[in-house]
Amino acid sequence: MKVITIKQPWASLIINGYKKYEFRTWNTKFRGEILIHSSKKYDKKELERFKNYNIDFPLGSIIGKVNIVDSILVDNNLKRELLLENKEVYKNIIDNNDYKGYAFKLENVKKIKPIKINGKLGLWNIDEWQFGSDNDYLVNLVLKGEKTATTSLYKEYLDLNEELPKINNNQLLLFESGKVACITRNKEVLITEFKNITSDLAYLEGEGDKSLEYYKKVHTKIFKEIDSNFNENSLVVFEIFEVI
């Protein structure tokens, strides 16, 4: 999913519906849903100007998502529109006669409980993932701190020509609805035969009674539905992750 990092107070003004344009000196052809990330840096003078809005200004966090629906060249016509819409919010653009850039028009604002993560310049990407079955139940186990690992079939990556998971890769874990649950980071990725999964590893999966017997029973059923030839010698990908 695409992400854009924005200084405070502007990020929170967007997420709280006060700012419907994000201004950049560069244009973008991207249209669609994008996450709003507040940078660790902020404009102290501007924060003071908007303190009476009674909203929070979290730093270094994903705080919401919007849709970029257009990218408009900033000219006098747009400045007149901005003046009518909210002179206080758009004051810096309206009063800057030398400004040359674009206004990304934003719609469908949705707040997200702040998720701490480092930002990047420009539009950047963060991967999304869900569990293959019983997603929301397993997501809740993750949020409770009971589930810190997941297992998938190595064969699936080959069949789908997908890249294998990487260590230190940040990903958005989603509910079935598409709502962001949290951000996870892989601490370890093991590719091994199913028979080599130990009781310690099974415990990290956090399901049922957390025993190796329960783990093997459940995963054998799931994997045989995917690959009828699945057996103890089949390769699996075991990811150990943390919530960040």
Question: pLDDT for 169-195, tens place per residue?
Answer: 888 899 998 888 888 999 999 999 999
159 shares a domain with 67:
no
Task: Report the chain's mean pLDDT, rounded to a whole number.
Answer: 93
Question: pLDDT for 29-73, tens place per residue?
Answer: 999 999 999 999 898 999 999 989 999 999 999 999 999 999 999
Give residue 17's pLDDT: 95
CATH (domain of 182): 3.10.400.10
- Give residue 92's domain range: 2-125
Instruction: Report the share of the chain in percent with pLDDT over 70.
Output: 100
pTM for the full predicted model: 0.72
183 shares a domain with 95:
no
What pLDDT band is residue 132 in, cutting at 50, 70 and 90? confident
Question: pLDDT for 140-161, tens place per residue?
Answer: 999 999 999 999 999 998 888 8
- Among candidate residues 86, 107, 125, the one where a domain is terminated: 125
Give residue 118's pLDDT: 85
CATH (domain of 26): 2.30.130.30
82 contact partners, CB below 8 Å, separation of at least 6: 21, 90, 93, 94
Sign of the four-CA dihedral 90, 91, 97, 100: negative
Max Cα–Cα distance, the chain, nearest Å? 70
